[in-house]
Structures are given as C-alpha cells and as structure tokens.
Amino acid sequence: MKVVVQRSKKAQVSVDGKLINEIDHGLVLLVGFTEGDDSAKIRAMARKVANLRIFDDELGVMNKSILDVGGAILSISQFTLYGDATKGNRPSYIKAMKGDKAIVLYEEFNAELNKYVKTLPGVFGADMEILITNSGPVTILLEI
C-alpha cells in the first residue's frame, strides 16, 4: 500500500466537470494498493496518516498532526502509484491491485480514516480532475 500525503490549504475533486468533494484545510491523499494489502495494513496506514506530524506548531516547526489542527482529508484512488517504468518508457501497472479488489480496500481505508478525521473520497476508477493548493509545499510518500 502506498499513500502520497499532501498538506493542503484547499482541494477539490471533479468528474466530468461536476464537483464531487472539496476540503478547505487538511490533507490530500493519493492511495494505491498492491497484492498482499489487507485490513491490517489499512489500519496501520490510517493510524500513520492521522498521526503524521506535518503541520506547523506555534514555533513554525512541523510538530502537529491533522488531529491537532483539524481539517479534513480528501482521499483519491491512484493505481498509477504502482507504475513501473524501469524497463522502457511506458509504465507497467502489473503490480497495481485489480480494480474489483482495490475498491473494497479503498472504501475500507476511507472508513478507517473517518474514525480519526472527516474523510471525503473521489470516485474510484473515474477520470478525475484534482485541484490542490499544496501548503508548504509538504508532500510525503508512505508505504506499508
């Protein structure tokens, strides 16, 4: 399981020009799954994301989590996180979990995150447009 975490001042997801979800302050997650991912990894990743200290404290040091500062999470499914371009120029996505299995884990992950902080999803498998005002910028890659 891979998650790209971006600290965001504002973000939104649209499909076919229709706004699906948006947040004003919090985190944008790009979420990918591979074979072997399971509920235990989902719980561990949700806990890691919720407690990740990438928000500034009173001294300007990244020492606070989203739990400390409030806000919400915009969670976007992203199978291309498992793209492998080591051979040639066209990435292979063979390591990405198949959609019928990945959607179950994506929904479970979002439900687990919702136990910590309000989490809004994109549309699994859709051609989405994501607008992100990255704060910092702060971008962290997590892998479990």
Could you tell me the pTM of the whole model? 0.95
Candidates 12, 33, 34, 79; catalytic one: 79
Q: Is 79 a catalytic residue?
A: yes
> What is the C-alpha to C-alpha distance for residues 3 and 20, in angstroms, rounded to an integer?
21
Question: Residue range 105-114: average pLDDT?
Answer: 98
Domain locations in the chain as residue ranges: 2-143
Candidates 6, 12, 78, 119; catalytic one: 78
Task: Please report which confidence band the pLDDT of residue 114 belongs to, taking 50, 70 and 90 as the band edges.
Answer: very high
The pLDDT mean for the chain works out to 97
| Paired strand residues for 142 | 3
Q: Indicate the CATH number for domain 2-143.
A: 3.50.80.10
What local confidence, expressed as pLDDT, does residue 19 receive?
98
Number of other residues whose CB lies within 10 A of the CB of residue 102: 21
